[in-house]
Chain A
Amino acid sequence: MPWTKIYGNKADFEKAGGAGAGLRGLTYREALHEAASQLLESDQNVFVMGEGVDDGGGVFGSTLNLHKRFGSDRVMDTPLAENALTGIAIGAAASGMRPILVHMRIDFMPLTMDQIINHAAKWSYMFGGAVSVPLTIRSIIGRGWGSAAQHSQSLQSLFANIPGLKVVMPSTPYDAKGLLRASVYDGNPVMFIEHRWLYEHMGHVPIEPYTVPIGKSITRRNGKDVTIAAVSQMVFEAMQAAELLAADGIDCEVIDLRTIRPLDSDAVIESVTKTGALIVADTGWASCGIGAELAARLVERAHGALKAPLKRINFADCPTPASPALEKAYYPDRHTIAAAVRETFELKRSNG
Chain B
Amino acid sequence: MTSVATIDTDLSTETLIALLTSMLRIRMFEERIVALYPEQEMKCPVHLCIGQEAIASGVCANLEVKDYVFSNHRGHGHAIAKGADFRPLMAEFYGKKTGCSAGKGGSMHIIDLPRGVFGTSAIVGGGIPMGVGAALASSLKRDGRVTIIFFGDGASEEGVFYESFNFAALKKLPVVFVCENNLYATNSPQTARHSTCRIADSAAVFGSHGACIDGNDAVSVYWSAKKAVEKARAGQGPSLIEALTYRWKGHVGPEADHEKGLRPKDELFEWIKRCPIEGFKKQLLDTGLLNEERIADITTSIKVEIDDAIEFAKMSQYPSPEDLLKNVYFTPDGGI
**A residues bordering B, Cβ < 8 Å?**
47, 73-74, 78-79, 81, 83-97, 114-115, 118-119, 123-134, 163-164, 166, 187-188
Contacts and interface: CB of A to CB of B under 8 A. Distances in A.
Q: Which of A93, A124, A129, A131 has the most CB of B within 10 A?
A: A129
B111 A84 contact: no
A259 to B, nearest CB: 13
B167 A78 contact: yes
Given A79-B166, A188-B329, A87 B128 contact: yes
- Interface size class on chain B is 35 or more
11 contacts: A81-B164, A85-B167, A87-B164, A92-B140, A94-B119, A119-B123, A124-B328, A126-B104, A126-B105, A126-B119, A128-B327
Given A118-B126, A119-B130, A126-B101, A83 B330 contact: no
A92 B330 contact: no
B109 A84 contact: no
B113 interface: yes
Given A90-B129, A91-B133, A115-B126, A128 B166 contact: no
Given A123-B119, A130-B113, A187 B332 contact: yes
B330 A188 contact: yes
Contacts of B227: none
B328 A95 contact: no
A183 to B, nearest CB: 13
B334 interface: yes
B160 interface: yes
Contacts of B121: 118-119
B137 interface: yes
A79 B170 contact: yes
Contacts of B111: 127, 130-131
A236 to B, nearest CB: 30
Interface string B134-148: 111110110000000
Contacts of A92: 133-134, 136-137, 140
Given A88-B136, A132-B330, 18 more contacts: A83-B163, A85-B129, A88-B132, A92-B137, A92-B140, A95-B134, A95-B137, A115-B160, A119-B130, A123-B119, A125-B327, A125-B328, A126-B119, A127-B101, A127-B105, A130-B100, A130-B119, A131-B118
Contacts of A166: 329
A87 B104 contact: no
Contacts of B137: 91-92, 95-97
B126 A127 contact: no
Which residue among B99, B133, B326 has the maximum number of chain A CB atoms within 10 Å of its CB?
B133
Nearest to B166: A79
Contacts of B331: 187
A128 B126 contact: no
Interface in B305-336: 326-332, 334
B259 to A, nearest CB: 31
Given A84-B160, A128-B99, A130-B113, A94 B332 contact: no
Given A129-B326, A164-B329, A187-B330, A97 B140 contact: yes
A127 B104 contact: yes
A273 B323 CA distance: 34
A114 B159 CA distance: 12
Contacts of A95: 68, 118, 133-134, 137-138
Nearest to A262: B329
A129 B141 contact: no
B123 A118 contact: yes
A14 to B, nearest CB: 42
Contacts of B68: 95
A128 B105 contact: yes
Interface in B92-130: 99-105, 109, 111, 113, 118-119, 121, 123, 126, 128-130
